Structure 1
Amino acid sequence: MEIKAILILSAMLFGISFFMHTFIIPNDQSYNRLDFMPALALLYVLTQTLLISSVNAFRLMIAVLYLGYAIMRLLTLKGVNLSAVATGLIQTAVFFGSIQIASKLPIFWLNTINILLGAAFLVLSILQLRQSDKKIDRDLSEINVIGFIALLILSLSSGYYMLNVGTGVFCLHQLAELVIYTKHDRILRTSVSTRLKELENRFERTVEFEAKKRTSVMADKIEHIREKSQKDPMTKALNRHGLTSEINNLIRDPAIKIFSIAIFDIDHFKSINDTKGHIVGDECLKFLSYTFMISNRKTDMLGRYGGDEFILIMPHVNAPAALEICERMRGLIQSKSVPKFTISLGIATYPYDGRAFTSLLEVADKGLYKAKEGGRNRVAYDGNVFIKNETK
């Protein structure tokens, strides 16, 4: 291949490098961004009649190029960033201004200058590599060795064949540099894309977590408000609204085939308030509620219907079982209460004694009245289910 063809290839590679570092990799190192000077210089050498040969003009171009690179490397090590545009313009002016001088300069001195500038650039590249942990800097330093070898071949050779080899090796150096920049740009873009995806996923997880957290907090607040609206503040049992709601829910639930309720109150409660005071009366109500809530199943529900009247809801419990439960609770209150008091209870069972809350309450009320008439401190049933010895 003729030297002219190799120089055209080198000019094309410089042009591609200029385009890539200007438009594709704009955040690249400043001394590699604008390679328009060597591209313009080679085109000028190939199209104009000069006082020096095209090979010597190529050597001069490389010398000016490495001079600019070395200056920018040195300034970078000193912490100064020189504009690539300014450097490229200075290089262009130096090249075209030195063509006349180079035509009169012995080729030995031009070669010597080339080797010294190439060596200076290589040394500065190695020094900068020590201050950087980037893989691209390490790869470029290795490629710069190839460029320096091409420079040595061009500077130390005079034969046509070796000059071809030198320019060819320099083109190989340019091509390898382009490959490295393309490879690392692709890796960088992939890394940025992956990082952005990770940040996006982390953001989505954070938003989802915050949404769930706030939803949970709102649900807790709603549940707290709901419980507060359905709970008696003193006894912590359901209030009348809560009782009505729970019993109606059981009636509407197709899975609930049977349940029982028991209505009860404290015997002679007015006398307790009158003789021992309302504070003691309130303590009796609290003890009654607490005892019923901890001594029965978790599925059972206790509510304060009004005053000293309470209702116990017992899902899946028939009338005989309800009598046994209520009798156990009656004895427990009688033996454990302080001050001593007793209770009377009346029960009703769904659906035998009614299919609505009012009808069930009416039957349970009749049982309570029957217990009061029988002497208090007992459980009574006045419903539709036949039970032997239901009153104690």
Structure 2
Amino acid sequence: MRVLVSTRSLAKPPTGIGHYTAETVRALRQLPGLQVREFPARWVRPLARYRERHLDWWLGALQPPPPGLSGQRVTHSLVSRLERFFLRQHSKQSWFTPARNDVYLEPNHELMPTSLPTVVVVYDLSVLRFPQWHPEGRVAHHRAFFETLAERGQSLTVVTISEAIRQEAIQSLGLPPDRVITGCCAPRTLMRPGLPSADAPQMARLGLTPGYFLHVGTLEPRKNLALLVRAWSGLDSAIRLAHPLVLAGGQGWGDEAFQDALRQAPAGIHHLGYVDEADIPALYRCALSLVMPTHYEGFGMPVIEMRAVGGAVLTSLDPAVREIAGDDTPGIAADDQAGWTAALDRAAADDNWLAPQRSAGPAWAGRFTWRRGAEAVRDACRVAIVGTSARSGPVAA
């Protein structure tokens, strides 16, 4: 079976979708009977990478810009036109026809026009269910994307990254259950247990002392960080001093409530911003607990990575997060501030409370592998091909 994978997300700095795409392509190549091709080819990516990583240099080189055009518009115009030209060349070479490939895998919310059987990865439906949590441009883009799913008919199959999102996709998008397949993500290979003494250099570099409460993720409304800040602020001062709150993740958007809570909070909250990937395992291992009071997730990568290193986790009752966290993980309602304060207090005071969860974590996380996720994608490709064959005749497999 010849699988054409859209890897445009790999041309940009790593994101969640980029990591998923890279790991899935790697795992698909290890499955027997598959021939995996990437679109665009690797030699096209430098154009997009140049645009993303060297925009400041271009802006400086193009000053002053032509009348009526900003430097940013000139940069995007020149580089984007070259990028689109090479993408069109790929299409002209019949990459998206049965003569070259049997099925098209799109993990990036940007469907290419094609008659090929298509597999789409859906990570979550937060943009549709909770548009107030997202920028307007993102909402419009994703709504248009989801509307096109229905237009592909029996030639399209969906892969979700959790069973919870599979059920949502069936109900919210009206997709046939037999054409929605549950896959998964997996912790990065660096995520494994280790001795605290070995993490001392990373702790020194980050300016931290082991024993903090940790949240990992972009600072955005659905993460429910305003409640987390207030819940931590409700702890006794001695507990806050011994167990500060560490936030690791980029600045997001539209969370004025979080900023207000942060301004009113006592000292002891540290926002690290983006953390180098090499330091993340130590960041997890040295935390007293990962705290995730999220309103909504599609999977919950920090949860499975914390469990992989043998750490403790406290989560909300979001269905996808609970599915990934496991039954031995304490769950607190996302809107229960007093409940979160009590859980943080108990985690700090009772060393034995979360000990069973820590010891069982690596084995639990081992159930989530990229091979398992790739096998789900392979199965979805087969379903998409069969659906198309029934409608339009045989497709080579």
Q: Same fold (TM over 0.5)?
A: no
Query: Which TM-score applies when normalising by structure 1?
Result: 0.25
Choose between structure 1 and 2: higher strand proportion: 2
**Rg comparison, structure with higher value:** 1
More RCO (CA 8 Å, sep 6+): 2
